[in-house]
Structure 1
Amino acid sequence: MQTAPLTPSLPAAERRTAPPYLGGLPRWQVRRVTDYIDANLGATLRTASLAATLGLSVSHFTRAFKHSVGVPPRVYVIRRRLAAACEAMVTSNLPLTTIAHAHGFCDQSHFTRTFHEVIGLSPHVWRCRNMPGTAGADGDPFANEQKCETGLDMVEAA
């Protein structure tokens, strides 16, 4: 004897598992807050202001953001700032101090310390290794440091 199922059977198109944002932020909220972060990398980004962009409490936002993105908001902001700074270091000849200020670091020392903690190299060494047409090709980041950075040709003559 067959009994009726306890729950009605739904067509396959309507059957869903738990939503992908269960316990986290919906994709549209993640996109909104990450777009806000990317647009304001040079400004002070506090967790309270990020939570306010979505109308959430700080504690709920922090937990949901970490669940959705995989890292806390503070770590995500630092990574985005460093990624944008790396792009600026490769595409321009701006001084590191200018790049640091433009990407939300209070000074070059803070930028260098954070860069070294996350990437494992100083910004200067990283820049030399990753600049197209520089010492990165032969592996010596200091090979043309003096000539490129200060314009002194006397280093090679000595």
Structure 2
Amino acid sequence: SAGQQCGFLFGAEKAGLTNDHIALADAIVSAPVNPEFASLNLAQSVLLVAYEWLKQGGAGGLGRKTAFDGPAREGLQMQQTRPATRAELTGFFEHLERELDASGFLRPPEKRPVMVRNIRNLFHRTGATEQEVRTLRGIVSSLVKGRRDRESRQK
């Protein structure tokens, strides 16, 4: 989004990116290639992304859509909400994961890392705004409060 910093992460030629690295991405860039020669080496990939980036005028050409990018979310644009920062998303993830652990959702323990990665990937794809992250945190807090209130009434 305009005014936001952006970076591209490229993986090693032999193995690409790990699932953990991919989970940190806000967006995934892919290029249409000939299926018979579907592999690009690292230099080709960097060149292609840099070329497309510059051709589109920098930040406006690649990356995720946000509330500032189009009429689909015009109501949010009018409220001047901004894309959530990495720190805001991380805070939400930690809050959600802490409560999911407390509720027993992230079980069995050996499946927890994959479940957490799937949940984070889901929310990364939304391109959430800071207001949406605050709303999600409020939802988690409300659910926890409701559960605690019910538990205290049962005692």
Pick 1 or 2: higher relative contact order, CA cutoff 8 A, min separation 6: 2
Normalised to the residue count of structure 1, the TM-score between the two structures is: 0.23
Q: TM-score, normalised by structure 2?
A: 0.24
Of structures 1 and 2, the larger Rg is shown by: 1
